[in-house]
Chains A and B, each alone.
Chain A
């Protein structure tokens, strides 16, 4: 079956522009997570959803970052007024649920964002 998909795979933008990154989780997965991964580092948590409800946004760096999952499936991470320090790999993951036996997070291929 299809895994987690993300689009675009690569995004080059100019400083000050807004970008929207899309995540399509595995069908039926309740929980959806956004992480940011710098080169040579592990993924760093940004935010997560159960269905359409944003449960935790403590990892969002500042108010230029926002995320939504309006219908409990596809999610969009939006970065407004991008800055060069926003350049990173943005990864999405989904899990069937959060209880034992459902907690495995499956990661997508990521969106590589480069802000010039």
Chain B
């Protein structure tokens, strides 16, 4: 049972454009939603994270939008750069006491010049 659904599977965006990756979840006990960035041959690295008490969080060119009622959240990358080309995973974690991360299936992002 896939608890976090991620789309699209792959995405090609022109340099300078906006990259948008979407995730949806079922478990209402989830209360922490991180996004991880993974380059080939490397482990996933935390990019940005949000809690459901806010609808948006922005860090530099990266923004998470969160819709609690729809149980959806998305990553927006503004002014996308070739260095942003990587695989992005959304994840979710339930309330304190159940600390495992449940990951989406990943989005392979390619930024073309």
Interface residues of A (CB under 8 A from B): 4, 31, 33, 35, 40-45, 48, 55-56, 59, 91, 93, 95, 98-99, 103-110
* Interface check B25, CB cutoff 8 A: no
A99-B43 contact in complex given A42-B103, A44-B103, C-beta closer than 8 Å: no
The distance from the CB of A50 to the nearest CB of chain B, in whole angstroms, is: 8
A109-B103 contact in complex given A98-B96, A103-B32, C-beta closer than 8 Å: no
What are 27 pairs between A and B in contact, CB < 8 Å? A33-B99, A33-B101, A41-B106, A42-B4, A42-B91, A43-B103, A44-B103, A48-B99, A55-B99, A56-B98, A93-B43, A95-B99, A98-B99, A99-B96, A103-B93, A104-B34, A104-B46, A104-B49, A105-B101, A106-B45, A106-B46, A107-B36, A107-B43, A107-B44, A107-B45, A109-B42, A110-B43
Cα distance, A55 to B99, chains bound together (Å)? 9
0 or 1 for each of B3-34: is its CB under 8 Å from A? (1 = yes): 01010000000000000000000000000101
Residue in A42, A56, A98 whose CB lies within 8 Å of B106: A42
List B22-70 residues whose CB lies under 8 Å from chain A.
32, 34, 36, 41-46, 49
By the criterion CB–CB under 8 Å, are B100 and A45 in contact? yes
Cα distance, A45 to B42, chains bound together (Å)? 18
Cα distance, A42 to B92, chains bound together (Å)? 12
* Interface check B72, CB cutoff 8 A: no
By the criterion CB–CB under 8 Å, are A41 and B99 in contact? no
By the criterion CB–CB under 8 Å, are A103 and B43 in contact? no
By the criterion CB–CB under 8 Å, are A43 and B32 in contact? no
Task: For B99, give the chain A residue with the smallest CB separation.
Answer: A98
For the complex with contacts A45-B101, A103-B32, 5 further pairs of A-B residues with Cβ separation under 8 Å are A31-B99, A41-B106, A91-B44, A106-B46, A109-B42
The distance from the CB of B66 to the nearest CB of chain A, in whole angstroms, is: 17
By the criterion CB–CB under 8 Å, are A4 and B43 in contact? yes
The distance from the CB of A39 to the nearest CB of chain B, in whole angstroms, is: 10
In this complex, the member of B45, B91, B100, B104 whose beta carbon has the largest number of chain A beta carbons within 10 angstroms is B100
By the criterion CB–CB under 8 Å, are B43 and A91 in contact? yes
